[in-house]
Structure 1
Amino acid sequence: MREALSYEDLVSEALAAPFRGWDFSYLKDRVRDCEIPWSYEDLASAEISESTRLLDVDTGGGETVAGVLAMLPKHARRPAHIVATEAWQPNVPIARERLEPLGVDVRQSASGEPLPADDAEFTLVLNRHGACDPNELRRVLQAGGVYLNQSVGRRNDIELNTALGGPPPRYPESATLDHAVAALEQHGFEIAQAEEAFTEFAFCDIGAVVFHLSAVSWQVPGFDVTTYGRPLRELDARIREEGPFVVLHHRFLVKAVRR
């Protein structure tokens, strides 16, 4: 039982845990996640079944799009042309290892640069927790093409920052549903669906907190277990006494059609 482990053991275990691609399976059974009102995976699966040319932006290690492709019914139509882009170089070979056997062309992108894609190359663009310039999005989607995006909002998990006495997270002020909708409309998209949610997410031990903040470095900028040793120990004591530490995930979803 992890609750019997000391603070030092939990933290050491978390720091030694491997993190590859965008795989958070280490946190299984150590966090409690409340489902958001929509299922990105179900929505993406439905759109893929109607698409002929698919782009997955900021694919990470390819975990999400691989999972969505695996959800498709055995005899469902799938796009003949599937591309995934990833800007962080260490993730590119991981994504290729996972996605190329599925027939996906993995292309390395670069932050702030045009997408490595042709004009009107795609009928569907998926984007889960990634970035996509509306100008580039409009360029690579054909008229009538669909954009499906789930994003992390700027008020995400701020309870962690408060508990640790750290600086605010590095989410842009523009990371809101209203801004996303306005930007897409300004670039010639019609909004088909727009939703926002704040859902509870609970850390069951301090090791889960440390693993999460080490991976998601922008949540508490400058985080390390030495600098934040005292508040981490205080949070550890709080979890042991009161139970899991609850934060609010800020998520929003937009489905838009290119005019």
Structure 2
Amino acid sequence: MTRSQKDEAFYRSLVNEYNYPFSGWDFSHLNGRMTDDEQPLPWEYREEVKALLPHVHSLLDMDTGGGELLASLQPFPPDTCATEGYPPNIEIARARLEPLNVRVYAVQDDENRALPVEDQRFELVINRHGAFDPRELWRVLKPGGLFVTQQVGGNDNIELNRMLGAPEPKYAGWNCETAVKELQEAGFEILTQQEAYPVTRFYDVGALVFYLKVIEWQIPDFSVERYFERLLEPHGRIQREGSIVSHSHRFFVKARKPTA
């Protein structure tokens, strides 16, 4: 069916949103157009990590992105490293972190999740929204070392999939209970576990398009062409109600490798 001139103009505007450049895990393009902090999480990942740093001499930040969060945690322990597996972010992270004496390791095989660092090197491993293998964590942590992670749960913004008639996310079973079980099976002692479902709000459909382009695992086959007709419904709802709402899924775990 041929689109009306109005729909064609709207379609082009969404394509422009989809094609807007993105790098370094910088979501500033969505400032004022999407909010996910109306309800503070029951924990504060950054502050939890920062409180530990004066007490350790070695730190690994897994999946550092563009290094933005890690750079904000200065001063660092003497031996601080980071890993990153998303190719566009590797050089961004190196440019930001290596002048701060933080070595950035490229991780090429996300399915393997192997860490290119020595056994028992780190007293603290941190991970914000990155995949991990408990056996690799066990290998690289010193006895008594800590693992601190904030994860995106498998039901993250699942309403968007349902709204657009898309398949549910591949990792729908990923939650705090599952992560804790895997860590315990690897030998870790769980110190803290928390889970939350804060509100995510979109104020225009262009913001939703950009978000789904970046968070490519939410709807792996997403494109404006494929989902345009489905996008008209949330567009109309935003025009009537001012926003559309879904729910993020986050959980926090702090675990320790026993000393014996």
- What TM-score do you get using the length of structure 2 for normalisation? 0.90
CA contact (8 A) 1:150 1:254 kept: yes
| Number of the residue aligned with 2:238 | 239
SS of 2:163 mapped into structure 1: helix
Cα deviations by residue, 1:59-90 (Å, 9 ceiling, x for unpaired): 12112212333xx6xxxxx3001100112222
Give the Å deviation of 1:254: 0.1
One-letter amino acid of the structure 1 residue matched with residue 171 of structure 2: Y
- Pick from 11, 17, 31 the counterpart of residue 14 of structure 1: 17
Check if 1:133 corresponds to 2:110.
no
- SS of residue in 2 equivalent to 1:194: strand
Equivalent in the alignment of 2:101: 103
| Partner residue, 1:3 | none
Partners of 2:143 and 2:242 lie apart in 1 by 51
Q: Is the Cα contact below 8 Å between 2:18 and 2:224 reproduced in 1?
A: no
- Show the counterpart of 1:32: 35
Moved more, 116-125 or 18-27: 18-27
AA aligned opposite 1:162: R
Q: Secondary structure at the match of 2:195?
A: strand
Using structure 1 for the length normalisation, give the TM-score: 0.91
Amino acid at match of 2:189: E
Partner of residue 227, structure 1: 226
Residue 106 of structure 1: how far off its partner (Å) = 0.3
Alignment match of 1:84 (pick from 82, 85, 107): 82
Query: How many residue pairs align between the two structures?
Result: 246
- Within 2, Cα distance between the matches of 1:32 and 1:9? 24
Alignment of 1:26-175 (within 5 A): 26-33=29-36, 34=38, 35-69=40-74, 78-109=76-107, 110-111=109-110, 112-171=112-171, 173=173, 175=174
Helix, strand or coil for the counterpart of 2:249?
A: strand
Q: CA deviation at 1:10?
A: 4.4
| Unpaired runs of at least 5, structure 2 | 1-8
Q: Aligned-pair RMSD on alpha carbons?
A: 1.5
After superposition, the C-alpha distances for 1:220-258 in whole angstroms (9 at most, x for unaligned) are 120000110011112111111112111100000000111
Counterpart amino acid of residue 63 in structure 1: E
1:8–1:114: structure 2 CA closer, same or farther, 3 Å change rule?
A: closer
Identity %: 43
Moved more, 239-248 or 109-118: 109-118
SS in 2 for 1:196: strand
TM superposition shift of 1:185: 1.3
What CA distance in whole angstroms lies between the structure 2 residues aligned with 1:84 and 1:172? 28
3-state DSSP class of the match of 1:154?
Answer: coil
Q: Deviations over 1:169-218 (max 9, x none)?
A: 12252x11111111111212111110000000101101110000000111
